[in-house]
Amino acid sequence: MLRSFNLPKIKLGGPSLRDPRIIMRVIIGALLIANLVFAIIAFKPFGGSADDLRRDQEDLTKQLAAFRSHIASSQKQADKVSVANTQGGQFISKYFMSTSEVSTDVLIELNQTAKESAVKMGQATFDQQPVEGSTTLIKQTITIGFEGTYGNLVKFIHSVDKSPRFLIIESLQVAAPQQQGGQSLSVTLKIIAYVKDTPEAAGAAL
């Protein structure tokens, strides 16, 4: 006959799961794992997915293309400025006189043109003003009177307007004939000439 017997109760060693220290360790561990997951998602330390890498490459390619386009545009602008400076210098050298020659050369040309047009030239006055924004150019205003018939004066003014010295007729004043029925007219012209203020001319003026 079997005897009844009771197995001894086995007590598991170690702290219980209800121990506050265990619970705090579990919570802290869970928080550390969560922070690590968020850091991986935010900073992508392993380079991200293939789609992310492809998008990054496309963005960099677009930025490089825009940068190259900007460089090409800047180079074109620089080339245009260089051409403009060269052409401007050539224009000034060809059409602008120096201060040492403007008074005599302009008067000689106007007197010659007046003779060819059968027009009488009177006295001339000169006035010089600096050109704003320039350190080498001067605006020379020449006021001078002429007398002749209407046809001859028109011929003279047309010749002055086509002068290779780049003379600009700023204003024209016509006086009434001195005699009733007379054919002669008196005209006062204000002519503008732009002059190069060269160092040589400045030294000569001193």
Which structure tokens are listed for 37? 């997951």
pLDDT in tens, the chain (206 residues): 445 545 444 444 555 556 667 777 777 877 777 777 666 666 555 555 667 778 878 888 888 888 888 888 888 888 888 887 777 666 666 666 766 666 788 888 899 999 999 999 998 888 888 888 777 788 888 899 999 998 999 999 999 888 877 788 888 888 866 555 557 888 999 988 887 765 444 443 33
Strands (E), the chain: 97-98, 120-130, 137-149, 168-175, 184-196
* CATH class of domain segment(s) 97-205: alpha beta
H/E stretch holding 121 reads: strand 120-130
pTM metric for this prediction:
0.50
The alpha carbon of 15 is separated from its chain's Cα centroid by a whole number of angstroms, namely 81
Q: Locate the domains of the chain by residue range.
A: 97-205
